[in-house]
């Protein structure tokens, strides 16, 4: 067990989650990320300062196995960041059920089980990464939106339950970074949805995480990272 306070980031193997993990390592934290599958590139280029635990959040048993790992090792938590996410279309069988497990069941079980791993009297944070789509709903991605909305509701409930010892907040990103395969037409359309019209990059999520971790008087809130989409 590390002597340093630990930040756990679920689903931290790539993109925004991995960026935040690396920045938090730079800040001096012991960082644990979860992933379903180990990345081949980590064999030749190991992640510096980041511990990886394989975890399957698609089943209750998989979630419980990860909880057992943390509790057996008596991990000393500073923050628990629920970044694990699943994107399935409404036409896919069991889409809502699968996304419910990742977006709601896993955070629910982890929050309940891991509250005792935070040090009494020390700063403690749980952060849910939701989605800006919750603000409006989605005709095309009903199941995804509903499960992320449920995660947003869990933010409020756990903030009330765990106060004053643990702050619980959420971050709701819209466009943060494009995928390599996104074409010019898609990029232009996506950028046009916000007032600021930029691709901000993953550091804005890290900045939001650090703000919430450092703000002693903020709980039960949602930081909207949407570049002013609500103004368009």
Bridge pairing between strands 50-54 and 6-10? unpaired
Query: With contact defined as beta carbons under 8 Å apart, do 195 and 158 qualify?
Result: no
C-alpha distance from residue 15 to each of 60, 102, 130, 166 (Å): 26, 18, 16, 27
Which residues are CB-contacts of 215 (< 8 A; sequence separation ≥ 6)?
A: 167
DSSP 3-state of 82: strand
Is 186 known to be catalytic?
no
CA dihedral (57, 135, 208, 213) positive or negative: negative
Q: Which of 168, 142, 180, 141 is nearest to 222 (CA)?
A: 168
Place of tokens 């279309």: 89
Helices (H), the chain: 15-26, 41-44, 60-73, 95-100, 106-114, 142-162, 184-191, 203-214
CA gap 143, 34 in Å, rounded: 24
Among residues 108, 144, 206, 217, which one is catalytic? 144
Active site residues per annotation: 144
């Amino acid at each position: 067990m590390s002597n340093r306070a630990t930040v756990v980031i679920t689903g931290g193997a790539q993109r925004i989650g991995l960026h935040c993990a690396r920045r938090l390592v730079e800040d001096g934290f012991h960082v644990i990320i979860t992933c379903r599958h180990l990345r081949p590139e980590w064999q030749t280029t190991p992640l510096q300062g980041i511990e990886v635990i394989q975890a399957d959040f698609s089943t209750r048993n998989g979630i419980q196995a990860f909880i057992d790992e943390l509790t057996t090792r008596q991990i000393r938590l500073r923050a628990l960041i629920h970044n694990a996410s699943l994107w399935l279309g409404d036409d896919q069988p069991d889409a809502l059920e699968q996304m419910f497990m990742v977006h709601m069941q896993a955070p629910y079980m982890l929050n309940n089980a891991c509250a005792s791993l935070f040090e009494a009297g020390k700063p403690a944070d749980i952060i849910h990464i939701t989605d800006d789509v919750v603000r409006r709903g989605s005709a095309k991605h009903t199941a995804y939106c509903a499960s992320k909305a449920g995660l947003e509701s869990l933010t409020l409930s756990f903030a009330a339950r765990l106060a004053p010892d643990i702050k619980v907040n959420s971050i709701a990103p819209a466009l943060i970074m494009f995928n390599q395969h996104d074409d010019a037409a898609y990029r232009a359309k996506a950028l046009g949805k916000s007032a600021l019209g930029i691709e901000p990059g993953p550091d804005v999520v890290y900045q939001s995480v650090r703000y919430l971790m450092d703000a002693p008087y903020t709980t039960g809130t949602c930081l909207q990272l949407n570049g002013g989409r609500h103004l368009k």
